[in-house]
Each structure stands twice: as structure tokens, then as C-alpha cells.
Structure 1
């Protein structure tokens, strides 16, 4: 009986911890879903809500490293000036993992369906929980 109690207690502890981890990862996944929806309605300002609004945000792409939230938004607006250029975005998540209590890694694929030709690539996103909100602090997209 004592062993059964210990097993049940361990299960409850593991389940409670797993729920907390899942809640954080679900918040990240929901942010990515909101970003997809914002992109697909042509709203780059709302799309940027998933990013850390800081001069310390890092974006690494085919043109090199961009520092800062505003510079990243400006680059998006320059590269995707209208909804035709933006197309329809789809994320496919490959790995979503917490690295620590407040840091997570997301690896995935992005695909833009566009009339003038599709674009696609991969990304790795470093997320950090800042002031209770999960935000992207580094984006490496290729």
C-alpha cells in the first residue's frame, strides 16, 4: 500500500509539472498561430507582436544580422510591401522545446504561397519569457 501511495504521488507530481511545461509551450504555439493569422491578413504590425520589442532583438536572415524590433519590422515592410508579396504563410513546427524555465527553442519550416511564386525555408526561434509573456528574442530564418 505504501508503494502504491508513492507511485501515485510521483505520478501527480510529474503530471503537474508536465501541465506547467505544456502551458508554456502552448502559449508559444498560440503566438505562432496569431502570427500566421496576422501575416495572412496583411498585418505586419500584429505579426511583430510575437517578437521582443527591444533594440536587442536579433533577426538573422539571408541579408545578415538585423538588430532591433523596429529595424526588423522595417525590413519586413520593405521585403513584403503588400498582400500579394506576402502571400499566405504556413508554419510547420518540427521541434518545440523548453531549454530552461524561461527559455525555449522552436525549429520549423515556413512556406509562403504566392501567385508570383512560392517561397519557403526553415527557422529557429529562441524564445524567452519576459514579464510573464513568451517572446522571440532571436530569429534565424533561411
Structure 2
């Protein structure tokens, strides 16, 4: 979660709907991946990086989670913005 914007304006969109805010997004992750078996080994494959505006990028990729309770995977779109001297994820749409 270190790469995410620590703001109430952070947006995460997943199969269960939209989650707003850093704390709510963090809690969602902790609930979904609450054991080492569910966390597994995460791999990202970068497919596309697109500059949208000064200080804003769109990143598209594929994710694969290998774990003992069953492998899962899908695609993601991230919006990065340069805030406070660093790049942070302001929106994560993962399916």
C-alpha cells in the first residue's frame, strides 16, 4: 500500500464495487488477503504506460496471484499522479 495516495479521495474499483479512501482500501485488502495462503505470490506484467497530462499517467497491466488456495488473476488500470514529491496511485481499477 506504500504506492497508494493516503487520501480520502483514493478510489479502488474491484469486483465488489467502488471503495473510496486509503483507510477503506487498506481494510479491504486486509480482509480479502487475511492469511499467507490467500496472499500467495503476486506477479505483475506491465502492458502499457500512457501519459495523460503533466504529472498524470495511466498504467495498464496484468496480474497473477499464485497461491495454495487457488490461483487467480486479471487486469488492472492505475492512475498515477505526482503529489508531494512522489508518484502515487490515485485510482486502481482491478478485475
What interval of TM-score do these two structures reach, taking the shorter chain for normalisation? over 0.9
**SS at structure 1 position matched to 2:26:** helix
Alignment-derived partner of residue 92 in structure 1: 45
C-alpha RMSD of matched pairs (Å):
0.7
Q: Which runs of 5+ in 1 are unaligned?
A: 1-47
Residue 37 of structure 2 is aligned to residue 75 of structure 1? no
Q: Which has the higher helix share?
A: 1
Q: Quick one: which of 53, 59, 66 aligns to 1:106?
A: 59
Q: Which has the higher strand share?
A: 2
**SS at structure 1 position matched to 2:42:** strand
Q: How many residues align?
A: 95
Q: Quick one: which of 44, 51, 62 aligns to 2:15?
A: 62
**Larger Rg over CA atoms:** 1
Q: Report runs of 4+ in structure 1 exceeding 3 Å deviation.
A: none
TM-score by length of 1: 0.66
**SS at structure 1 position matched to 2:19:** strand
Q: Which runs of 5+ in 2 are unaligned?
A: none
TM-score by length of 2: 0.97
Alignment-derived partner of residue 136 in structure 1: 89
